[in-house]
Amino acid sequence: MSAALINEITVALNSMRETSKVDQSIVNNLDGLANVFKESQEKWLTSKNTKVSIYFYYAARNAALVVSRMKERFLSSTTNENSQMAEESLQVIGLIRELLDLTQNEKPDEDVIKLSIEKVRQLRTVAADTRLIQAQEKELEDIDKLLNYLSKLRR
């Protein structure tokens, strides 16, 4: 289902880029994708595999933040930025697909961890370049969950 969501989003973005018209139906798919990443965050916060869980939580959180920013931009779009928004969103959707695959991995090894760190770095760079990075306030929301998790690790 998750891969199908990304496929539908990619098709919609390509169509919007070609027609220069925003299709608001993409918002439902973006909501669904953000929810998949939020579920992944929760999974990794409660994981017993503490050596790797923080990396995948971080990857899922960053992907969810970019997807939610993408949704916000489509909801507030104006006619003159339609094709640009689609083009910018297409620049991150491939990285989001890769992070989805990585965060769904049930038995990640050190190579997968390194790859996820690199993909998050790439995602944040491209998202910043395309105005798809969230404001600092949004980035800091729910940070208490992560801090609680980290405090449990120290005990």
What's the pLDDT tens digit per position in 95-106?
A: 999 999 998 887
Percent of the chain with pLDDT over 70: 90
Locate the domains of the chain by residue range: 2-154
Enter the pTM of the model.
0.88
Measured from the Cβ of residue 136, the count of other Cβ atoms closer than 10 Å reads: 7
Report which of 130, 38, 19 is spatially closest to residue 82, judged by C-alpha positions: 19
CA distance 52 to 48: 9
Per-residue model confidence as pLDDT tens digits over 78-117? 666 667 889 999 999 999 999 999 988 878 888 999 999 9
Task: Name the more confident of 121 and 48.
Answer: 121
